[in-house]
Structure 1
Amino acid sequence: MGANKKAPLSVKSLKAGRPPTARPPKSISRKTTKRLINNHHQLEKRRLQAVARNDKAAETAIAAEIEALGGLARYQQASLQGQHRDRGGDSSRVLMQWLGIDDDNKPATAPLEAAKPSFLSSAPLRMLEVGALSIDNACSASGCFHMERIDLNSQGPGIMQQDFLQRPRPKSNSERFDIISLSLVLNYVPQHSDRGEMLLRCLDFLHEPGMVSAEGSDSQNASVPATDEAIQKYFPSVFMVLPEPCVANSRYLNEEKLADMMTALGFDLLESKASQRLVYYLWVRQRPAPRFIPRFPKKELRSGSTRNNFSIVLQGT
């Protein structure tokens, strides 16, 4: 009897022949996503506290715990998963609805329909998206802005790896923006004083009140007065998104204090919205940078064992 010959294995596709390490990461459940993000925030907070105490042993141990969870890359994967449309994510959709752009990125009847030639066609307005995870969100897809995206750990082309707190200050108006997006960014900054510094730095990177980016943005004086009422109403501005408990259940921050801080910096609240998990704000710059900014310390506003410790501290001038 002749030796049995095995039939050659057939590979159905290149994808089927790839090793497991080449497979795309599995989707993370909503429950796992929330747990990963919360655990990462808590560990990062403890690590920073250890740094402040100069406790090297504790810092090393906590850093190892963060890495065991997958580090910053795993945190960003969870955050990006949470932005998927089927999870109700992509907070920039709220901003676009406020600006009169519907979910299909088509102009709605108000308020920017009148500004369609300058706003939608030539798109001279510039947006800085801090903490960007994707180049495909609603703001990017709308074609309304010249986008510049930064993040501490870039997820790919189109997102510059940069810390906003370390970003060089603008040398000219051509390096300034009409809107800065701080969507789920402040709550990730570990130090409460750095959160205040981030808000203060927005004044450097935004155009002056009543001014917008000039067409082309290649000259030293690349800003012009906003002549359209719709543009004047919404720009320059800061789009801010926070977890709802940061303002609704914090010992040290509520909406009144947040509004007082932003008012002191020259902003007025134009739009706001609260969902079950998030709060959204659009702060429009109405006044030049003040010569004096009062100090907003970490001060208890609510008591109770169920409160969280989120705070924003403005050191003042």
Structure 2
Amino acid sequence: MAAKKRKKHARPTSLSYGRPLFAQKPKATLSSDATRHLIRTHHTLQKQLAKAIKDGDTASAATIEAQIEQQGGLKSYQQASIEGQSPRRGGDTSKQLIDWLKETKTIISGRKVQLKMLEIGALSPFNACSRTDLLDVTRIDLHSQHPKIEQQDFMKRPIPSSDDDKFDIISLSLVLNFVPEAIARGEMLERTTEFLRISTRLDISLLPCLFLVLPAPCLQNSRYMTEERLEALMSSLGYSCKKAKYTSKLAYSLWKLTGTGDSAPLFPKAEINPGKSRNNFSIVLC
């Protein structure tokens, strides 16, 4: 049985704020430092814009929108995002997912049944997941410009009516951190549980699972989040952490949905790591 429903909240802002458009042939002209700076700046401005819109501050919103355009708008941000995840820079996060699936023999040569996977916020249809015929991948993004990526907001995707329409794997790689509001991040994580199928169709202990990738500072240098708090929050949704890996930049984790979530624990925004140098990333469940 899936986790109990929590009280629904009106989403503070559209998820379309923050996610980049997809460029079919981006030019690799940015250095690594310039790429990181552009992404960080755009992310900060998008959060400020979302807050201004939420507060009804049209003057500030117009000023922030002008700043975004001055640094190249979504087009430049999109190029930086794709360049940052290019194979040339070792940025294809789906390689880690494939490695874990192979390591646990979740996907092995000779298996006749494909695993259904939903990739949310897909930037390219040509990542590591596309290079195995053992995965049947559905790719969605808010601003797709490629025929192999469906243009769709995950928060508006219809809830599957049967197990046949659900997935064995969901990928949420560098997406959650672009959602502007902490409550909306919690709602997105909670909604993933309704798209994963818990069945005996495949005798694989790792499935169904959620592949989650966040910038490492979201958990290692936040005032409001830690690895332990994320694990407690995910446990309340019915997830159990099966794999985790940190690099200097990213936090990878793989979560199995057990279906034994508890709606009792609430996770409001609460400071647990004070410090002027820390960031404000948080996830709220209420």
TM superposition score normalised by structure 1: 0.78
Q: Does the 8 Å contact 1:241/1:280 carry over to 2?
A: yes
Q: Does the 8 Å contact 1:51/1:59 carry over to 2?
A: yes
Tell me whether 1:296 sits opposite 2:267 in the alignment.
yes
Instruction: Give the aligned residue type for 2:182.
Output: H
SS at match of 2:244: strand
Q: 1:123 to 1:79 in 2, by over 3 A?
A: farther
Superposed CA offset, 1:260-285 (max 9, x none): 01111111000000000001000001
Q: Does the 8 Å contact 2:27/2:79 carry over to 1?
A: no
Distance 2:264 2:122 in 1: 29
Q: 1:25 to 1:293 in 2, by over 3 A?
A: same
| Corresponding residue to 1:117 among 101, 110, 133 | 110
Q: Does the 8 Å contact 2:101/2:107 carry over to 1?
A: no
Q: Does the 8 Å contact 2:236/2:261 carry over to 1?
A: no
Instruction: Give the aligned residue type for 2:167.
Output: F
Which residue of the partner structure matches residue 95 of structure 2? 93
SS at match of 1:32: helix
Shift of 1:202: 0.4
Which residue of the partner structure matches residue 157 of structure 1? 147
Superposed CA offset, 1:124-165 (max 9, x none): 211110110011111111222111111111141211111111
Number of residues paired by the alignment?
A: 262
Q: 1:259 to 1:289 in 2, by over 3 A?
A: closer
Which residue of the partner structure matches residue 85 of structure 2? 83
Tell me whether 1:181 sits opposite 2:171 in the alignment.
yes
Tell me whether 1:169 sits opposite 2:131 in the alignment.
no
Instruction: Give the aligned residue type for 1:236.
Output: P
Distance 2:69 2:168 in 1: 37
Which residue of the partner structure matches residue 34 of structure 1? 36
Which residue of the partner structure matches residue 135 of structure 2? 145
Distance 1:46 1:78 in 2: 20
**Mapping 1:1-317, distance limit 5 Å:** 25-100=27-102, 110-112=103-105, 116-118=109-111, 122-208=112-198, 211=199, 225-228=200-203, 231=204, 233-288=205-260, 290=262, 292-315=263-286
Q: Does the 8 Å contact 1:124/1:146 carry over to 2?
A: yes
Instruction: Give the aligned residue type for 1:250.
Output: S
RMSD, matched Cα: 1.8
Bigger-Rg structure (1/2): 1
Instruction: Give the aligned residue type for 1:112.
Output: K
Q: Does the 8 Å contact 1:237/1:282 carry over to 2?
A: yes
Shift of 1:196: 0.2
- Unaligned runs of 5+ residues in structure 1 are 1-22, 101-109, 212-224
Q: Does the 8 Å contact 2:182/2:282 carry over to 1?
A: yes
Distance 1:80 1:194 in 2: 24
Shift of 1:185: 0.6
Superposed CA offset, 1:167-197 (max 9, x none): 1221222221111101001101001100000
Q: 1:191 to 1:301 in 2, by over 3 A?
A: same
Superposed CA offset, 1:108-132 (max 9, x none): xx531895433xxx34211110110
Q: Does the 8 Å contact 2:38/2:80 carry over to 1?
A: yes
Distance 2:126 2:179 in 1: 24
Which residue of the partner structure matches residue 19 of structure 2? none
Distance 1:24 1:255 in 2: 34
SS at match of 2:278: coil
Distance 1:66 1:201 in 2: 30
- Unaligned runs of 5+ residues in structure 2 are 1-24
Distance 1:255 1:27 in 2: 35
Q: Percent identity?
A: 46
Shift of 1:65: 1.7
**More deviation in 53-62 or 242-251?**
53-62
Higher relative contact order (CA 8 A, sep 6+): 2
